């Protein structure tokens, strides 16, 4: 494995971990402000978390269909977070998780679609 492929592998792992951490934070943040635990919603969120992890694993293994699905979902999430950040009438502190989501997902979109190191790593995985 050459240096470019190795860099792509490391960045893919780090960005995948970042995406999963954003998902965990979203799940925690949603339930921490609720007085009662909504088990149905928690179950849906846990399933979504594992589906996200599965798609990220498929991308890591070099599956082109997973990369396309991931890029579409990340793009929708970034647009939704931008709209929410602009339209919500809350203090800037309450919008910080949205800004983190926008940053992490935007970096992921760049990495999975444009980055030379990911392209080299992805090509090796195929």
What pLDDT score was predicted for residue 126?
78
Q: Give me 44's structure tokens.
A: 């849906």
The SS3 call for residue 126 is coil
- The rounded distance, in Å, linking the Cα atoms of 31 and 33 is 6
Residue length of the chain: 126
pTM tops 0.75, yes or no = yes
What pLDDT score was predicted for residue 44?
96
- The rounded distance, in Å, linking the Cα atoms of 88 and 36 is 24
What pLDDT score was predicted for residue 38?
87
pLDDT tens profile 24-64: 999 998 888 888 888 999 999 999 999 999 999 999 999 99
Torsion sign over Cα 48, 33, 103, 77: positive
- The rounded distance, in Å, linking the Cα atoms of 99 and 22 is 11
Share the mean pLDDT of the chain.
Answer: 94
Asked whether residue 1 carries a pLDDT value surpassing 80, the answer given is no
Mean pLDDT, residues 72-86 taken together: 96
């Amino acid at each position: 494995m050459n240096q470019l492929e190795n860099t792509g592998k490391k960045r893919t792992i780090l960005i995948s971990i970042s995406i999963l951490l954003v998902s965990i934070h979203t799940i925690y943040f949603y339930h921490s402000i609720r007085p009662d635990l909504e088990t149905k919603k928690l179950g849906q969120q846990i399933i979504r978390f594992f589906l996200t992890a599965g798609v990220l694993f498929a991308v890591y293994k070099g599956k082109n269909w997973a990369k396309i699905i991931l890029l579409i979902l990340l793009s929708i999430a970034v647009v939704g977070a931008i709209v929410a950040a602009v339209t919500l009438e809350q203090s800037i502190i309450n919008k910080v998780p949205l800004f983190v989501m926008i940053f992490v997902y935007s970096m992921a979109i760049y990495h999975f679609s444009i980055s030379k190191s990911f392209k080299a790593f992805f090509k090796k995985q195929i």
